[in-house]
Structure 1
Amino acid sequence: MDSGDCAGTGWGVCAAAEDGDRAHGLTLFWRVFALNAAVFTAAMLGLMLGPVTVSTPVVLTEVLILIGGLAAMLVTNAALLRVALRPIDRLIAAVSTIDLSRPGHRMVDAGQAGPIGDLVRTFNAMLDRLEAERAASTARALTAQEAERQRIAQELHDEIGQTLTAVLLELKSVADSAPPPLRTRLRQVQETTRNGLDEIRRIARRLRPGVLEELGLTSALKALAGEFTTGGLVVHHSVERHLGLGRDAELVLYRVAQECLTNTARHAGARQARLEVARRGTGIELRVRDDGRGLGGAAEGSGIGGMRERALLIGADLTIGPAAGGGTEVRLWAPLPEEPPVPLPEERD
């Protein structure tokens, strides 16, 4: 370590760093220097001990010999440096492909000694910290988001819903005592207000799925499929009971299914969709597929990004791709907890 590297750090820090360098062997600088020194030393010994001489002026044969020796020296040096610096090339390639939304990718630690091995292990440790911090911050953000959704849903239900209900009652009272021409118009306003109240209740249910808290994931997904079954879209469903997931995992599956069906209804141009939830191995698989126009070359939006963030919170695997026969298919596989919760009572259709 040069003395200039110690500026502003204190001798204690520099001494510890130097002790660390000695403990782990030569630094990368000295390794490269040693390789170059070995090549130059070999070339010098070859000139000293070999039959080659240089005359004045230099003849063509000597020039060719020197050029050949220089080329051999450069090739040897390049080959040795390539071997020594190959882990750095792998590290650069790994850095360029790292995606924190798809965790788990690490550089292979082949037990290299010295600074290269330290660099690989430090890089993997940095990824561990980044993924842990990202998961913690995402959990806090989604928790705050769910709390805000519940607050808004409660206000829609308690404040605006009650206000519109009072307006409906007042309109009914006025319409009953109004003359026939005005009564017809008041009935139309009353119907428009009732439709608005139904829409607010529907939005509140989406913001806060009360059926999920009260009856569980199976009933909530069935209700969700029925909610998205409209005149232009039919949603079929097949959902197993007693899935044994925790509360957080159930909320993630519900939100992912909700986002999938929302995208299908708004953007896919599909006529049919299918929602399936079943056990697969040691986990639960959610699968949503439609017969729409598919993803094409469109970039992932915030909705898909949100699904990936939620999947990371419970250690789930999310895949999005084309469905067999056209359309889009989304798969979410969530691992079951080691100790599944007590199952809900048997539901009746």
Structure 2
Amino acid sequence: MSLYGRILLLNAAVLVVAVLLLLGPVTVSTPVLPREAMVLGAGLVAMLVANAVLLRIGLVPLRRLARAMGTVDLLRPGDRAAVSGPGEMAELTRTFNLMLDRLEAERATSSARVLSAQEAERQRIARELHDEVGQTLTAVLLQLKHAADQAPAGLREDLRQAQETTRSGLDEIRRIARRLRPGVLEELGLHSALRSLATEFTTPSLSARTHIGPGLPSQSDETELVLYRVAQEGLTNIARHARARTAEVQLTCGADGGVDLLIRDDGRGTGDASEGAGIRGMRERALLVGAALSIRPGPSGGTDVRLEVPKAEKADR
């Protein structure tokens, strides 16, 4: 029976009993006698208590659904409200869960389009940096070398300095282009790309190393790109915010036949800081391949960022 029907039935039963009592053994005189007032008061209290208990029990599923609505996050899919309660409450909860299914599917589809467009734009910018800006700076370097060779001694040193500045700018342009378009990933594969990435982030104040487990299953190009980008963003966050001395990138076999990527550091941890655009981007990338991303404190301080990619056929489904 619906909540409306139960409340209506309970109130009707209480009123019918009250009318029968008034028509039968219970009478009300004028002025009202104390005994009669007690009977009427007890009936009123009984009706209010019964309604309160019924509403309290009947609205529990609605409060549970409200809590689920307040905590839902499309970047953490899978959480659903428990279906319970009377007919219309259970139907409302089922409808809400179906709406979440549709929203998560639409979010994953739109994120895939956005990230694909983003990767295409990165490749275009990387090509232009390499082909246009890189070639222009190379030509400038050659002109400066020629000018330095022909210049008098007093001017030669200034031209050498300009050469070094231009060469540093060219190296920076190439580094940015490599980060925008990981050519090593396309040419040598994920394992070499992760090792190169760790080498790139290694500085005098940060030691980054890579551990690649044996027997890793092959992954699609899309999955390898997601793994690389998550590792890249994780190392970028460590270099910018963690104040860590060491960082490690581990790629190992997962429990279900997939792969696990772990980025671990010994820095100051995340504390109570809210998730920024970088972490949200990692979560969106994880959705593309059906992976689960978790961020937890490390076993000896710092932060563990773990990406669990399911087996290929599961991810395809």
TM-score interval for Structure 1 and Structure 2 normalised by the shorter chain: over 0.9
Residue type matched to 1:170 in 2? Q
Residue type matched to 1:328 in 2? T
Match of 2:266 among 291, 295, 299: 291
RMSD: 1.9
Match of 1:34 in 2: 9
* Alignment pair present for 1:159 and 2:141: no
* Alignment pair present for 1:328 and 2:295: no
Name stretches of at least 5 consecutive residues in structure 1 with no aligned partner: 1-25, 341-349
Offset at residue 152 of structure 1 (A): 0.6
Instruction: For 1:1-349, list aligned pairs within 5 A.
Output: 29-49=4-24, 51-110=25-84, 114-240=87-213, 242-282=216-256, 283-338=258-313
Would the alpha carbon gap of residues 309 and 42 (structure 1) be closer, same or farther in structure 2, given more than 3 Å must change?
farther
CA deviations on 1:274-301 (whole Å, 9 max, x unpaired) are 1111002122111111111111221111
Residue type matched to 1:90 in 2? R
Q: Distance in 2 between matches of 1:311 and 1:115?
A: 36
| Kept after mapping to 1: 8 A contact 2:260/2:308 | yes
Residue type matched to 1:243 in 2? P
Bigger drift between 182-191 and 92-101 goes to: 92-101
CA deviations on 1:301-339 (whole Å, 9 max, x unpaired) are 100111111111111111112112211111111112139
Offset at residue 30 of structure 1 (A): 4.6
| Kept after mapping to 2: 8 A contact 1:291/1:326 | yes
| Kept after mapping to 1: 8 A contact 2:11/2:47 | no
| Kept after mapping to 2: 8 A contact 1:316/1:333 | yes
| Kept after mapping to 2: 8 A contact 1:35/1:81 | no
CA deviations on 1:84-112 (whole Å, 9 max, x unpaired) are 333222221221121111111122335x6
| Kept after mapping to 2: 8 A contact 1:238/1:277 | yes
Q: Distance in 2 between matches of 1:239 and 1:88?
A: 49
Offset at residue 32 of structure 1 (A): 3.7
Instruction: Give TM-score, length-normalised by structure 2.
Output: 0.93
Would the alpha carbon gap of residues 61 and 254 (structure 1) be closer, same or farther in structure 2, given more than 3 Å must change?
same
| Kept after mapping to 1: 8 A contact 2:267/2:303 | yes
Offset at residue 29 of structure 1 (A): 4.3
Q: Distance in 1 between matches of 2:71 and 2:22?
A: 47
Q: Distance in 1 between matches of 2:26 and 2:82?
A: 47
Q: Distance in 2 between matches of 1:324 and 1:84?
A: 45
Q: Distance in 2 between matches of 1:104 and 1:183?
A: 67
Would the alpha carbon gap of residues 164 and 100 (structure 1) be closer, same or farther in structure 2, given more than 3 Å must change?
same
CA deviations on 1:229-267 (whole Å, 9 max, x unpaired) are 111111011013643111111111111100010011111
The 3-state SS of whatever aligns with 2:59 is helix
| Kept after mapping to 2: 8 A contact 1:218/1:240 | no
The 3-state SS of whatever aligns with 1:54 is coil
Q: Distance in 2 between matches of 1:89 and 1:40?
A: 29
Q: Distance in 2 between matches of 1:299 and 1:220?
A: 30
Q: Distance in 2 between matches of 1:62 and 1:71?
A: 14
Q: Distance in 1 between matches of 2:28 and 2:310?
A: 75
Q: Distance in 1 between matches of 2:311 and 2:56?
A: 47
Match of 1:12 in 2: none
Percent of aligned pairs with the same residue?
61
Q: Distance in 2 between matches of 1:279 and 1:43?
A: 72
Residue type matched to 1:268 in 2? A
Bigger drift between 222-231 and 40-49 goes to: 40-49
Would the alpha carbon gap of residues 284 and 65 (structure 1) be closer, same or farther in structure 2, given more than 3 Å must change?
same
